[in-house]
């Protein structure tokens, strides 16, 4: 695993270098290492991770988020 970011809950996310999804595009399975120390696959490619995970409604529409005070949530902030 090559970890490249973490969640606000302290879980880490990374590529599984042994799980090649698309060899010509150098895409690898992306996994979340959760608090139970289990790997959970969350995407097949980095673009899917950005669009389907980072920019998902669940991650954007947080309860109590004040866009005027905190800015828009539709951003990707790599670790």
Domain assignment present for residue 32? The answer is yes
Tokens of 77: 């902030």
Structural domain range at position 28: 2-62
Domain assignment present for residue 51? The answer is yes
Tell me the chain's radius of gyration from C-alpha atoms. 14
pLDDT at 73 over 80: no
Higher-scoring residue by pLDDT: 7, 74? 7
Task: List, for residues 26-65, the tens digit of each pLDDT value.
Answer: 889 999 999 899 999 999 998 899 888 887 777 666 677 7
Domain assignment present for residue 16? The answer is yes
Domain assignment present for residue 75? The answer is no
Domain assignment present for residue 26? The answer is yes
Q: How many domains does the chain have?
A: 1
């Amino acid at each position: 695993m090559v970890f490249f970011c973490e969640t606000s809950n302290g879980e880490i996310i990374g590529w599984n270098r042994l799980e090649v999804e698309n060899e010509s595009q150098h895409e690898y399975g992306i996994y979340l290492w959760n608090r139970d120390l289990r790997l959970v696959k969350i995407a097949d490619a980095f673009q899917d991770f950005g669009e389907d995970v980072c920019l998902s409604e669940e991650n954007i529409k947080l309860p109590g988020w004040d866009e005027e005070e905190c800015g828009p949530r539709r951003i990707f902030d790599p670790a």
